């Protein structure tokens, strides 16, 4: 049996970002970092979430319910927690509170087909920053234009352009926002807005958006020891 040392606030943010996409996850712990790769149901979005820290163990943990573990952490009431890790559970013993969180056996949860080495090998041709407020405003305005669930991102006359539309359907309403000036030209990258709604923006004011010419995009957020890298595929035109 070994011990797993965690900062509750950071670990909860890590769990919550994953649980917005899937209820369960395989957590890889490697002493000074932990990470998980998770995908949306249609595999159009992958999240690589990584948390740095001094965890002290090297384990693969199959978490059956991310919300259940997060709710248990909320009950502890201290900044940090130490779990006893056995082959089938995480066990907490504190003053006035004890609980066991049972793990799945290996093989029950399926690992995503996209590996960490594949994600790390991706290269990008365009990179720009987005304000969280700007993205949230776009998502809010998308509810007005109910004919579409798409966001087109491209450049025109030296500026980024953001268009809520669906160019495959005639006579649909559209809203276009002219964004920042940029020094590159980029063809349309088409986002499924449902994928954008799965992003955990947290307290960060800005996120980095990277896109390559093969239609793969990356939304990158950093917060203290936590890194969230959302890999998104462009929809077909």
* pLDDT given for residue 12 in this prediction: 96
225 conformational bin, left if phi > 0, alpha if psi -120 to 50, beta if neither: alpha
Q: What is the mean pLDDT of residues 14-19?
A: 97
Look at 9-18, 63-72, 130-139, 148-157 and tell me which has the smallest mean pLDDT.
Answer: 130-139
Q: What is the mean pLDDT of residues 10-18?
A: 96
Nearest to 9 by CA among 53, 48, 61, 62: 53
Q: 237 pLDDT exceeds 80?
A: no
What are the beta bridge partners of residue 38?
47
* pLDDT given for residue 69 in this prediction: 97
Tell me what the pLDDT averaged over the chain comes to.
93
Q: 230 pLDDT exceeds 90?
A: yes
Tell me if residue 79 falls in helix, strand or coil: coil
* pLDDT given for residue 118 in this prediction: 94
* pLDDT given for residue 157 in this prediction: 96
Residue 136 near residue 151, CB atoms below 8 Å: no
Residue 189 near residue 236, CB atoms below 8 Å: no
* pLDDT given for residue 13 in this prediction: 95
* pLDDT given for residue 24 in this prediction: 97
What are the beta bridge partners of residue 54?
none
Q: 235 pLDDT exceeds 90?
A: yes
The domains found in the chain, sorted by start residue, are: 2-120 (3.10.150.10), 122-233 (3.10.150.10)
* pLDDT given for residue 142 in this prediction: 83
Look at 4-8, 167-171, 209-213 and tell me which has the smallest mean pLDDT.
Answer: 167-171
Residues 172-182 have pLDDT tens digits of 888 999 999 99
Tokens found for residue 221: 């957020």
Residues 187-226 have pLDDT tens digits of 999 999 999 999 998 877 889 999 999 999 999 999 889 9
How far apart (Å, rounded) are the C-alpha atoms in residues 182 and 107?
47
Residues 105-156 have pLDDT tens digits of 999 999 888 999 999 999 999 999 998 888 888 888 888 877 788 999 999 9
Residues 28-63 have pLDDT tens digits of 999 899 999 999 988 899 999 999 999 888 999 999
Tell me if residue 77 falls in helix, strand or coil: coil
* pLDDT given for residue 186 in this prediction: 97
């Amino acid at each position: 049996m070994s011990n797993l040392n965690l900062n509750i606030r950071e670990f909860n943010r890590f769990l919550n970002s994953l649980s917005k996409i899937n209820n369960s996850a395989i957590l890889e712990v490697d002493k000074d970092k932990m990470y998980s790769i998770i995908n949306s149901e249609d595999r159009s979005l992958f999240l690589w979430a990584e948390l740095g820290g001094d965890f002290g163990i090297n384990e693969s943990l199959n978490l059956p319910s991310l919300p259940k573990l997060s709710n248990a952490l909320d009950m502890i009431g201290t900044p940090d927690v130490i779990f006893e890790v056995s082959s089938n559970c995480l066990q907490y013993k504190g003053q006035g509170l004890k609980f066991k969180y049972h793990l799945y056996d290996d093989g029950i949860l399926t690992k995503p087909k996209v590996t960490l080495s594949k994600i790390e090998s991706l290269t990008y041709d365009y990179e720009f920053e987005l304000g969280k407020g700007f993205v949230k405003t776009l998502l809010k305005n998308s509810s007005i234009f109910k004919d579409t669930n798409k966001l087109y991102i491209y450049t025109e006359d030296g500026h980024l352009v953001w268009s809520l539309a669906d160019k495959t359907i005639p006579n649909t309403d559209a809203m276009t926002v002219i964004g920042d000036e940029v020094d590159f030209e980029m063809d349309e990258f088409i986002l499924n807005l449902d994928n954008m709604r799965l992003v955990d923006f947290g307290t960060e004011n800005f996120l980095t958006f990277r896109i390559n010419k093969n239609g793969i995009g990356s939304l990158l957020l950093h917060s203290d020891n936590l890194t969230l890298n959302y890999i998104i595929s462009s929809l077909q035109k």
